[in-house]
A and B are shown apart, each in its own frame.
Chain A
Amino acid sequence: MEEFGPLKDLLKAFTQSSFTRYVVNGDGVRIQLRQRPNSERRASPGTDHPKIHQESRPSRTQNHEAGKVIASPRVGHFFPLRNQMGELALKEGDMVEQGQPFGLVESMNLKYEIRADKSGLVEKYLIEDGEAVEFGQALILLK
């Protein structure tokens, strides 16, 4: 098992980092690491309560016109669909058709396929791979 030593070191460094995704390509080997974002959601709770009476809490969707985004129909962690090479199945600049699957939302150890609720040209993803999403949160901005 000696040859896994460097891989273990890499895993350790990765889990201690703030990166959510790390990809290594080379010599016909591709290593892709992903972890859930180490955001405030994981912060040790009960330590600070900064948001009392915060006026007009920023909504994750409010900066986008409803007609120009594809929103999440579920709550969970979002993962975009990838092909066998690990590339995004739907990339920025691609056309997306209504009903086309483009990602998964995972919750309760189940994965739910997410399909586009409208067609359009993908301008950009508004969310990181593996990031938590709420209902109605904008996932993809369309041109």
Chain B
Amino acid sequence: MKNWPLWEVFIRSKNGLEHRHCGSLHASDATMALENARDVYTRRMEGVSIWVVPSSQITASNPELNGETFEPAMDKAYRHPTFYELPDELKHM
């Protein structure tokens, strides 16, 4: 018989905040994954909303390619407001 698949659990701690990844668990289906996530990850009022996603559905970037993936942003300082030097007298900008 097949093993229970792995699910990733995301919790919204309160309305106004985003769901954040908090861990994973095994469950036979989505309903059980939600119920188990409730029992494991929200026993002390840690959440008001839960998402569960089959781990197999996540595509992740490859850390070995971190250089070409993320480093180009490093030489684009002009995307930050501090790149633009303006007179100190200028207000509200």
Q: Do A and B bind each other?
A: no
Interface, chain A (partner B; CB < 8 A): none
Interface, chain B (partner A; CB < 8 A): none
